[in-house]
Amino acid sequence: MNTVELDVEGMTCAACAARIEKNLNKLDGVEASVNLATDKATVRFDPKLKVESIIQRIRDTGYDASVAREGEIRDHSAAFRQARREFVLAAILTAPLLLHGLVPGWLQGLLATPVQFWSGRRFYRGAWKALRGGTANMDVLVALGTTVAYVFSFFALFKGLHLYFEASAVVITLVLLGKYLEARAKAKAARSLEALIRLQPSRAFVERNGVLVEVDAASLKPGDEFEVRPGDAIAVDGRVVAGASSANESMLTGESAPVAKRTGAYVYAGTINGEGTLKVVATGTGRQTVLAGIIRLVAVAQGSKPPVQRLVDRVSAVFVPAVLGVAAITLGLWWIGTGEMLLGLIPAVSVLVIACPCALGLATPTALMVGVGRAARAGVLIRNAAALEAAKQVDTLVFDKTGTLTRGEPAVVDVLPEKDITKEALLRIAASLEARSEHPLARAIVEAYRGELLPVQDFRAVSGLGVVGTLHGKPARLGSPGFLNLKFEGKTTAIGVEYDARFLGWIVLADALRPTSKAAVARLKSMHIEPVILSGDSPAAVEAVAAELGIERWRAGVLPQDKVLEINRLQQQGKTVGMAGDGVNDAPALAAAHVSFALAAGSGAALDVADITLMRNDLSGIVDAIELSAATLAKIRQNLFFAFIYNVLGIPLAALGWLNPAIAGAAMALSSVSVVSNSLLLNRWKPSN
């Protein structure tokens, strides 16, 4: 299946989005999702189909569409200016109409005409497109309601009856005000993605003929070398080949502490170089950078639909036709009950005006846009809305041990020198011996000692056992207890050190816990989420980690396929299971869980595997994701409640004649603005750490 994202023009309410989506999904081999808040359609389609045929289908429905260009930010300024012009003119012309008794009827008609047909032309245009496509939307309701009031007023002007020019003009003015405010609020909701797109650097510096030349970052290809000056944004993903510095990677991970960068380290597009100059060879450019992957992921998630949206889609599909029916019934009942059609005209118009389904269509997508964008800024990447909704339901969280609860690499956890030997002296000799070794244990020992190293001669590695060498003309060796013919009492890895035929002590190494693991597990337990460890490691190692974290349920020696069986068993017990792993070797278990979390900062593979990726490599991000899930779903439910209750109460009041069209128009405009504004409150959410 191919996928294309389309910019859709002409949508004004949930009924529009529902109609386009329904018509697209009628095509064989097409799966479409239309988002009113972003004015976009995401379409998966059979490769046999052409994109042009999909766009034509949208045009046949009464709207327009074009292929969205990745990385392009939709310009809202022109729409703002047009909406402001239309509203300001309508407001100026409508204001005198509010002095109903003081303005002659002919002048009322003169003032109302440009409001009806110039300021309100967008409603006629939208209504015509909708009706031509065989549907009815908000524009149909507004155009029909205001036209009835306007035409009747001209008829009444010659008959000496009561005029309703102010009703039609005020409704159009207030709807235009609502549209303007709604557009501003929608733009604010979209800024999280825009901010990510703007992080993509536009320039890079390459050396040509000994001179540093500025080039377009988009022109770089994998293998090209470029230079990063102090304070510059890194142009593309790459590997450092010369220089030393640090980088601020907060835009990827949410962590503000700078990360050291030396030869061999990887750097990422959009992150900011620190105090040193780096020479970098490009490894990922264009769509292959981690930042580009994040932007795609956020955009897809913002455009997806949670299961809770299904009810809204079903309601929206029949909403406008149902409202037209209610308006007709209202007019008929008033006419029958009073014997005068005139008395039923205004309640019918009020029903048409107040029943706009905009708030219903914006309730879910705006909350998702803000929630997913806010999560991305905190280093939590959410693949889709279904994952966001599932995260809140998790009651059992399964952890892989190595690389998830632990760092996934050895570290020095203790130094046990013999009498008369200091820890520093023991580490110095060990680090000097290991400095030329590439073994992970050797790197951990060298990392643990930050001082000046001693020169080593006659260095030799003994495969699988240890290393030997000469320091100051005296023999030294380092290695496992068996290599030294000694015994070490303990369940962890220990490296012994000898110098000049004297045993100096032990250096104890272990796969250390991540600094935040203990606090994160405690918080999960306080949220009534049971932590479980499934690991392929030895029982002794898993038991030690489980005891340190206070996790009662664990299994060791579990193969990847066995993890899947265990997750299935938990699900059969009625548990909602989350799985946290490294995003690659735990892929089967991640896929089996209801929602999966991967800790993999900078790993492109994690973006392809997990439902939720934690760019900070910090388990507290799982708690943040669950808390944000709850906050976003709460906003969605609040919005849906406001939208439904607004119509449930508003339509009967309008039908009973208790709301005139002007008040109905104001209420309709404010309902959409209130829903979007409520979603924007999610920007106040902050990660707990």
Which of 32, 83, 126, 668 lies closest to 358 in space, CA to CA?
668
Whether residue 389 is found in the same domain as residue 532: yes
**Residue ranges of the chain with per-residue pLDDT less than 50:** 602-603
Distance between CA atoms of residues 532 and 542, nearest Å: 11
Boundary (domain end) residue, out of 486, 513, 540 = 513
Whether residue 431 is found in the same domain as residue 503: yes
Instruction: Tell me which DSSP letter residue 72 carries.
Output: P
Whether residue 207 is found in the same domain as residue 254: yes
Residue 390 lies in a domain: yes
Whether residue 507 is found in the same domain as residue 563: no
* Three-point CA angle 677, 681, 685, nearest 5°: 165
Residue 445 lies in a domain: yes
Query: DSSP string covering 505-530, please?
Result: EEEEEEEEEPTTHHHHHHHHHHTT-E
Task: Pick the catalytic residue from 237, 313, 400, 618.
Answer: 400
Exposure of 299 in the CB half-sphere (CA atoms within 13 A): 24
In Å, how far from its chain's centre is CA 246?
A: 27
Question: Dihedrals φ, ψ of 195, to 5°?
Answer: -65, -40
Instruction: Please give the radius of gyration of the chain, using alpha carbons only, rounded to the nearest integer.
Output: 33
- Cβ(507)–Cβ(427) under 8 Å? yes
Residue 73: CB atoms within 10 A of its CB come to 13
Boundary (domain end) residue, out of 513, 535, 570 = 513
Residue 634: CB atoms within 10 A of its CB come to 13
Q: What is the CATH number of the domain that holds 561?
A: 3.40.50.1000
Placement of tokens 């190595």 in the chain = 402
Residue 557 lies in a domain: yes
Residue 470 lies in a domain: yes
The total number of structural domains that make up the chain: 4
pLDDT of res. 187: 62
Q: What is the CATH number of the domain that holds 427?
A: 3.40.1110.10
pLDDT of res. 602: 41
Which two structure tokens, joined as six digits, stand for 64?
């327009």
Whether residue 214 is found in the same domain as residue 238: yes
Residue 654 lies in a domain: no
Distances (CA, A) of 648 to 357, 368, 652: 12, 24, 7
Whether residue 537 is found in the same domain as residue 590: yes
Whether residue 469 is found in the same domain as residue 536: no
Q: What is the CATH number of the domain that holds 245?
A: 2.70.150.10
Whether residue 507 is found in the same domain as residue 477: yes
- Cβ(361)–Cβ(316) under 8 Å? yes
Each residue's pLDDT tens digit, 5-21: 888 887 776 677 878 88
Distance between CA atoms of residues 430 and 448, nearest Å: 10
Residue 303 lies in a domain: no
Which two structure tokens, joined as six digits, stand for 362?
């914006």
Exposure of 664 in the CB half-sphere (CA atoms within 13 A): 34
Residue 91 lies in a domain: no
Boundary (domain end) residue, out of 578, 606, 622 = 622
Q: What is the CATH number of the domain that holds 40?
A: 3.30.70.100
- Cβ(182)–Cβ(358) under 8 Å? yes
- Cβ(274)–Cβ(245) under 8 Å? yes
Strand partners, 374: none
Helix (H, G, I), strand (E, B) or coil at 42: strand
Question: Dihedrals φ, ψ of 148, to 5°?
Answer: -60, -45
Whether residue 444 is found in the same domain as residue 527: no
Residue 576 lies in a domain: yes
Distance between CA atoms of residues 675 and 34, nearest Å: 19
Each residue's pLDDT tens digit, 130-162: 777 676 666 777 787 788 778 888 887 887 777
Enter the pTM of the model: 0.64
- Cβ(160)–Cβ(166) under 8 Å? no
**Count, residues in the chain:** 689
Note the helical H segments in 42-136. 51-60, 77-94, 105-114, 121-132
Whether residue 462 is found in the same domain as residue 544: no
Q: Domain limits at 448? A: 407-513
Whether residue 247 is found in the same domain as residue 264: yes
Where in 329-483 does DSSP place strands (E)?
380-382, 396-399, 406-417, 457-462, 466-471, 474-479
Which two structure tokens, joined as six digits, stand for 546?
């489980």
Distance between CA atoms of residues 427 and 441, nearest Å: 13
Q: Is 216 a catalytic residue?
A: no
Whether residue 433 is found in the same domain as residue 507: yes
